[in-house]
């Protein structure tokens, strides 16, 4: 009978698996034709049942007889990568951008990589092939982490001085890491679980409102001290917090406040205040452009992650009350966030 072929039991099982469970419609269709040829169906019967042309049936038969089962149903083995090509792709993606090769695009895409591979190495491949290569090489497509570009040339010296202060802190003195954080009525958007194909919505107020908190993390205990929120992030907010530190830590003869290099931390009002209270308060500045050196930044991250991301508060009063309640509840559980200066503990 025209078109008859003979499959082994193993080949028949493989073809049936591709036909029944394959996610690619083209492969399932060709596997179905192969199975019908194996059962002795004629070209005309297969064409009527599958609503296809004789060319497709003939191509499936020819590929099976001349090559293999995989070739007949369209399952191709992934193209191999030699070590030189692997090193080339990794170097380009890690060390360069498309702009280094004359493109306007700032990020790599599979299509651009395939074009440059053809130009530079005479390797012809599609963008989809490059995408599979990237996964096999351990690359993933996700958002990068923003980092501050400038660096403080005196970073090692400043860190060394702060470590020395913490290591030799007298028992009648105390050190705190201070910083400010803003709370927005406009929710910070964060990832959340949602049904596939349906994008969840986060309602925004339209007109954003802000409040600012000033807090300090006590180095020895991990306790968090937070002042009442204010509407402006300026010297008044900082000085109000210093006043609160003096009241709440009055059992210590001196308070060492370790903070960042914000301009309002060095204003005339602050310098005048420190002149009056120099016996009680001393300011130490962290390296510039180095927010990761302040342990309290991790507290603020947890605040945003727990309270402000995708929140549903309708008013700023409701959001501020929720944030303050969470901070008060957790104010004694931040000792593990001091890892930046753990050697001085």
What CA–CA distance (Å, rounded) separates 331 from 322? 14
No. of H helices and E strands in the chain? Answer: 13, 5
User: pLDDT tens, 66-123?
Assistant: 878 887 887 765 556 677 888 889 999 999 999 999 999 899 999 999 999 999 988 8
**Residue 218 · residue 169 · CB < 8 Å:** no
**Residue 73 · residue 29 · CB < 8 Å:** no
**Residue 237 · residue 254 · CB < 8 Å:** no
Confidence (pTM): 0.66
Contacts of 45 (CB under 8 A, 6+ apart): 36
Give the pLDDT band of residue 175 (cuts 50, 70, 90): very high
Phi/psi region, residue 151 (left: phi>0; alpha: psi -120 to 50; beta: rest), is beta
* pLDDT above 90 as % of the chain: 57
Q: Which among 71, 72, 64, 112 has a CA at the least distance from the CA of 92?
A: 112
| Statement: residue 336 has pLDDT above 70 | no
Helix (H, G, I), strand (E, B) or coil at 103: coil
Give the pLDDT band of residue 199 (cuts 50, 70, 90): confident
| Statement: residue 227 has pLDDT above 70 | yes
Contacts of 59 (CB under 8 A, 6+ apart): none
Tell how far CA 250 is from the center of its chain: 42
| Statement: residue 213 has pLDDT above 80 | yes
| Statement: residue 343 has pLDDT above 60 | no
> What pLDDT score was predicted for residue 330?
74
Mean per-residue pLDDT, 169-174: 96
Report the relative pairing of strands 254-259 and 224-226 from DSSP bridges.
unpaired
What CA–CA distance (Å, rounded) separates 31 from 25? 10
Furthest CA-CA distance within the chain: 107
CATH of domain 155-344: 3.30.420.10
* Contacts made by residues 13-20, CB under 8 angstroms, sequence distance 24+: 14/69, 15/69, 15/73, 18/73, 18/75
> What pLDDT score was predicted for residue 315?
93
> What pLDDT score was predicted for residue 181?
97
The full set of domain ranges for the chain reads 9-73, 83-136, 155-344
Beta bridge partners of 215: 179, 226
């Amino acid at each position: 009978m025209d078109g008859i072929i003979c499959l082994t039991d193993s080949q028949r099982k493989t073809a049936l698996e591709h036909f029944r469970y394959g996610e690619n419609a083209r492969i399932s269709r060709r596997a179905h034709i192969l199975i019908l040829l194996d059962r002795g169906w004629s070209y005309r019967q297969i064409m009527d049942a599958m609503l296809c042309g004789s060319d497709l049936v003939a191509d499936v038969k020819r590929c099976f007889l001349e090559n293999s089962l995989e070739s007949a149903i369209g399952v191709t083995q992934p193209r191999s990568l030699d070590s030189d090509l692997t090193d080339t792709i990794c170097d380009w993606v890690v060390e360069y951008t498309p702009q280094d090769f004359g493109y306007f695009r700032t990020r790599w895409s599979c299509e651009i990589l395939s074009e440059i591979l053809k130009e530079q190495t005479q390797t012809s491949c599609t963008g989809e092939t490059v995408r599979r290569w990237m996964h096999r090489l351990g690359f993933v497509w996700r958002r990068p982490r923003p980092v501050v570009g400038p660096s403080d040339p005196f970073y090692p010296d400043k860190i060394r001085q702060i470590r020395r202060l913490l290591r030799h802190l007298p028992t009648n003195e105390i050190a705190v890491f201070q910083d400010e954080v803003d709370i927005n009525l406009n929710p910070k958007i964060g990832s959340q679980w949602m049904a596939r194909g349906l994008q969840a919505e986060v309602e925004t107020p339209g007109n954003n409102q802000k409040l600012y908190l000033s807090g300090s993390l006590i180095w020895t205990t991990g306790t968090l001290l937070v002042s009442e929120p204010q509407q402006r992030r300026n010297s008044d907010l900082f000085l109000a917090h210093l006043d609160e530190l003096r009241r709440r830590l009055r059992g210590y003869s001196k308070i060492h406040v370790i903070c960042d290099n914000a301009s309002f931390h060095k204003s005339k009002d602050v310098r005048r205040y420190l002149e009056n209270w120099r016996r009680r308060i001393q300011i130490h500045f962290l390296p510039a452009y180095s927010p990761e050196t302040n342990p309290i930044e991790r507290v603020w991250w947890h605040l945003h992650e727990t309270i402000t991301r995708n929140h549903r508060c309708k008013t700023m009063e409701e959001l501020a009350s929720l944030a303050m309640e969470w901070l008060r509840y957790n104010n004694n559980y931040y000792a593990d966030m001091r890892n930046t200066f753990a050697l001085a503990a």
